[in-house]
Amino acid sequence: MNQLGQECDIYEDRIASIDKEIARYEALANMNNNELHRKVESMAEEAEDLKKQILLSTDEVNDVQEEFDEIQQVVMDLVRQFQLAKFSTKVGQRMQYSDETSFNENNITMYLSELEEYFATLITYIAT
């Protein structure tokens, strides 16, 4: 009995959903050409706005990547200078630097922490 009641509730929900769909299609059928034309123009404007937002987002991503590339070059140069000066420090994790190295949001903090350790050791050395 309980199962039949649940099935009835499910069917009633499906009927209500179907009734809403029918009403929506009837409303579309009753629209005149002007209303349809306005709806199409509205949707076209919305699509154009979405395209503009996508382009802006793409530009922002490109800007961030360019900033990462600039930071990467500076970090690589500074670490190499420390290494050429035979400056020794206890770096927790030495990072690899090559032309194939690329900074991204996942690894940039590790590269910067290595540089930070060099600077901390340099400051300690100068202070003593």
pLDDT digits (tens, 9 = 90+) for 65-85: 888 888 888 888 888 888 788
Among 123, 71, 120, which Cα is nearest to 91's? Answer: 120
17 vs 39, more confident:
17
Mean of pLDDT values over 23-29? 81
Among 82, 79, 81, which Cα is nearest to 96's? Answer: 79
Mean pLDDT of the chain: 79
Nearest-5° angle of CA 5, CA 9, CA 10?
115
pLDDT digits (tens, 9 = 90+) for 29-68: 777 767 777 888 888 899 888 888 888 888 888 888 888 8
Report yes or no: 121 and 87 within 8 Å, Cβ to Cβ. Answer: yes
| Predicted structure pTM score | 0.49
Report yes or no: 72 and 109 within 8 Å, Cβ to Cβ. Answer: no
